[in-house]
Structure 1
């Protein structure tokens, strides 16, 4: 799979009065000297018979839990199922604020399968994709529609796609949680997964759970029941009833342990690195992969910016969250963490680019970003 480029006499010279977009989309051909190629933004692949199969748009790529995903590829695999006529996959924010994949399918109507229960169809499609794609590409929910919503010009109306309800998840036959542990677990699952009802036979991962949510679940379990459960136990026993049984077996050596008391640590001196911080430092100083730990983000603001209010807002966020004020120090070559005082303030560097052409501004921003990354690496070393 790759991006589709078009060359030849039919390619335009560029976009009218859009030099920055022209530079982005029209590139020199690597095959014909003096020719240019147009980046379509379409993703495709060659079939054995020489035809091209369209797989979606690269501007529809989504990044979920660190994985870059092509929703069009998932939809294509869904359409291979005998019960699916049309499909589209999108990333939606759930009620917990996390992104998750949701598949919208129009079922085949020839054999009456469109009358099947929504949860049963979701289970069948989830099993189908599970045999073709990695786990992180399997949607959390499958919504059955009579037809895909379209705009007046015949394109998919993504804004009209409904939010998934409980039937959109691969659920088991519902049986209410029993006992104090199952009830507490069900409440935590419902909050983390953004579903209204959790039965004792429901599977955490079939309801949309994943490894990051699993870690959050175990942390909440420690807070609610004062029990530490190994992550492997959740993967081995992902149903509510089985997991509750493991929690209840703490005194019997099931792998779970009573949670130790958490004691505060003073902030007056240097602090030892956590395992995560130590790994990050190794990536930067030894692997020189500091760009993987950066999160660039850009905003285009309209109107007048109140710089003083903006700086105060940044300083308050900086003061509120201690993690933002952690810095690495290395006395005698041994790395430690120091916490800057809450009133240290967040330094902001300002550059005035007014009056510059858009294309020149874009090149300048790229150059500054590269210099910032190099300086970050030097500072870490």
Structure 2
């Protein structure tokens, strides 16, 4: 896309007079203004600008922090006088970032701008400026061209006030743009009731006591039954645990019991902390990092953990009470509501996320934040549901992820919650069958999971049942975005928000979007999204900054992390004393107020929607007896993210990758275990004596001894190998190679098992595969299935 426009500065005469007195040319002033514009818009400290007057030459001037505008003008003057080698048509797109032309005809400008299709092009004469935006890869859109004139006028006005103004102090944001940004920041201001989550749930109990509240497999429970069981638990807790806002753990599988526990805890005036195995180690039933579990229990000073008898011995007692929900302990407690005054600003839950110190951190959320989340979901998503007696919402996210909360809120609407068991979640076919079988209206997932479901034709198969899909947790890939934009039957929302701001902070209806690449939309109600620079000043529209969030959703902060709270949560006097959360996410405003997310500004990464602090992995690796130092990177050479651990050992001859993984699994979840370890004798350093990550060796595929399966003479083995190498995007695989070590993860296992079922009509259990993730095991299962069916036919 291209847009051209002529413009003239408002103070053209006054600027011309000042330039004349300073013996500066219009060309110098315009080019200096242009470099400042590029610096402010795109953060380029040394923009590469192609200059064309009589001939072409490349000019690069570093805009240092203390450089003044007049100093830049003087450097430009010298640069324009210098004789530079004329490369002519040898310049290509990658050589330059912008074009500046002096006294050229419009046709020549258009031709040059067309050739360098990723650039902003500016041409000048004494009378006017001509600007051409090229949009193929720019952080901009057509409408931004109207801002360029305002921005150049701002630079001109500040030059008139002082030619010695430092470039770092020049603002290109005028009053009109500032007002527009201010309107972008604020979500709609809406009143929400001063009520707690459980009180709103109890209102639904009164309205429809016999309505099914929760479904889990073959089990169901009505609103009345759920309320009674939660009341018994609440009274037990009130009897056993003194005080309020105690952090109480729930340690069990996805079940109706989990929902009973959540409601019982919050009815008692305390806050729940989910500690579910599914969250940390998908595919490894009953497995939990023991050191991490002990840390969580001690970190929160947990007085009570609610579990089931099968998990009792997993939990260190250490003077804390352990309640097994499947005992008959609660039978003597009353089923009536516990009449206890609980304000809306009381804690409702705490959720752990990865921490850069080597230990996870607990985010503390209040009732009012969850109620605000509910009203936004109700307004923007539930309002699009068809009018019928009941809607069923899928509980797809693990309870240990904050996304589970936006699924739980359907209970204060009076809808039914359908818990997808871990076995169902681990199969794309199982999820689709569950949606169809239970007539689920609302489904919530990550883009990674949605990709598997799209491959299984979820939109086509569920188009008559499913009405709304909420997608969040990570960025939607461009190709998926294009597909979702075209969807006609199911409303699809892209939602964004960190756990520290109660799940969702922005929303965007994807269907029919005019945006060709993903946007995370605008702020939900009672939420403000600020995009600020490193000095915490607002950035221009289209310019990248860090996302800060304020409003009803912002949490109290991290439990028992005073120093971290000071850095992450604070009041900003320049923004009306708003209480901000610093997300570490990067993004920019589009001209229409929607926000585009572009990644992280720190060492945190997201892999398959899991928030991972790389420092947490390296810190825990260094606890190993033979590891002196460790560095974790993310490698995407195979087309998806793999964790690579670079190690410096104390004893080089004692390297055992499996031993290291086993050791690390006691401290971190399985999804944080590196896919590969690379041993170095020393770190490659740059001139500043810091680790030069660009010089770290790239990972190779590591195979066990054996023949390449894709070259096997056995047709079955060759077919299975071809599926596996395609999913892992590798070159070869032997029959004993570990699928997980080669880059596999739970989502790729789902893809693999789905393809095996489709091609060979063989269903392999997810957990069983994790115990032996090899080509040899799959071949054995396919052969066994074939023989079993042949026996039945006889």
Larger radius of gyration, structure 1 or 2? Answer: 2
- Normalising by the residue count of structure 1, what TM-score does the alignment of the two structures yield? 0.47
Q: Which has the higher contact order (CA 8 A, sep 6+)?
A: 2
- Normalising by the residue count of structure 2, what TM-score does the alignment of the two structures yield? 0.24
